[in-house]
């Protein structure tokens, strides 16, 4: 006898969330959707997802609730208050926040969920639009081992590198480490391409040489070609990267850690946003170097 798959509630169907929810549908999970803009969920509804018109009604009907929204204040809005997830979710359920957010907020959700006999995990992801589409995201998880084991099959539908990093908040701290790495790397990628062009080289050919050596990185392999083509379409929005870097900088400062590379990258991305590029992909940073 095959076990019936648990009903999953999915809140947030942006660049990443839409593909992630679609993978769950394709894997045979019953999926209910709530998002502020219903039109963003149309393709998922056509593929068999069920629409819920509020966070509260979705929370009452699903035993696993996944959120991937924009900012920490959005996370707070969907989890707390009388119309939020934690007031309406059934005991014994699982709530998984996959937004990149504050470690302290993840700990607060975990604490409040525990009082309701609900297991909470913070599980931010990396891999951009490509990883979401291919189901190969890195998923960095904070929370209890028992909760992690219970929802691992769900994570395996959306990602390929899935690790429990520690207690509540550890997933967010890991993602911030990821964003700190990318921050300085993106500056390096932009400088390298700009240098290759100034030297009269074909930047695509230069990439063929340098992506396989010690300089190799995901950003160099996947975002540098977009930079060269002038393709600013967002795999990850500039505005969301700025949000992540601010959280990382704040968190580092709280721990008394100096992060000069992160600080410089944030300053450059804020300049880019002031130039009207908030909704562009992070690869648009090259524009600051090719003036």
Any catalytic annotation for residue 175?
yes
* Cα–Cα distance measured from residue 65 to residue 281, given in angstroms and rounded to the nearest whole number: 28
What DSSP line would sit under 178-235, residue for residue? HHHHHHHHHHHHHHHHHHHHHTT--HHHHHHHHTTSTT--HIIIIIHHHHHHT----S
Cβ atoms 122, 142 nearer than 8 A: yes
What DSSP line would sit under 111-133, residue for residue? HHHHHTT-EEEE--EESHHHHHH
Cite the beta strand spans of the chain per DSSP E: 8-11, 31-34, 50-51, 64-67, 94-97, 119-122, 125-126, 137-142, 159-166
The upper half-sphere exposure of residue 96, i.e. CA atoms within 13 Å in the direction of its Cβ, equals 26
- Give the SS3 label for residue 97: strand
Other CB atoms within 10 A of residue 51 CB = 14
* Cα–Cα distance measured from residue 186 to residue 264, given in angstroms and rounded to the nearest whole number: 11
Cβ atoms 50, 33 nearer than 8 A: yes
Cβ atoms 92, 117 nearer than 8 A: yes
Q: Which pair of tokens denotes residue 98?
A: 């996959």
Catalytic site residue from 18, 102, 133, 175: 175
Mind telling me the catalytic residues? 175
């Amino acid at each position: 006898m095959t076990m019936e798959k648990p009903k999953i509630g999915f809140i947030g169907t942006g660049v990443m969330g839409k593909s992630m929810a679609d993978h769950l549908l394709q894997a045979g999970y019953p999926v209910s959707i709530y998002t502020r803009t219903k039109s963003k969920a149309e393709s998922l509804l056509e593929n068999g997802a069920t629409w819920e018109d509020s966070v509260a009604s979705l929370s009452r009907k699903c035993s696993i609730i996944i959120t991937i929204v924009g900012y920490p204040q959005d996370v707070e809005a969907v989890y707390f208050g009388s119309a939020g997830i934690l007031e309406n979710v059934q005991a014994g359920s699982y709530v998984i926040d996959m937004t990149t957010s504050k470690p302290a907020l993840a700990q607060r959700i975990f604490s409040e969920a525990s009082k309701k006999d609900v297991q909470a995990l913070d599980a931010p992801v990396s891999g951009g639009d490509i990883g979401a589409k291919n189901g190969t995201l890195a998923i960095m998880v904070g929370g209890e081992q028992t909760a992690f084991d219970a929802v691992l099959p769900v994570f395996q539908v959306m990602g390929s590198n899935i690790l429990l990093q520690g207690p509540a908040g550890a997933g967010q701290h890991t993602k911030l480490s990821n964003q700190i790495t990318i921050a300085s790397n993106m500056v390096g990628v932009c400088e390298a391409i700009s240098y290759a062009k100034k030297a009269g080289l074909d930047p695509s050919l230069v990439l063929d040489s340098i992506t396989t050596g010690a300089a190799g990185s995901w950003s160099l392999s996947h975002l540098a070609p977009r930079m060269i083509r002038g393709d600013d379409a967002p795999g990850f929005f500039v505005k969301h990267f700025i949000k992540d870097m601010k959280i990382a900088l704040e968190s580092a400062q709280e721990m008394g850690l100096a992060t000069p590379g992160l600080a410089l990258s944030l300053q450059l991305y804020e300049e880019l946003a002031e130039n009207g590029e908030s909704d562009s992909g992070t690869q648009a940073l090259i524009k600051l170097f090719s003036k």
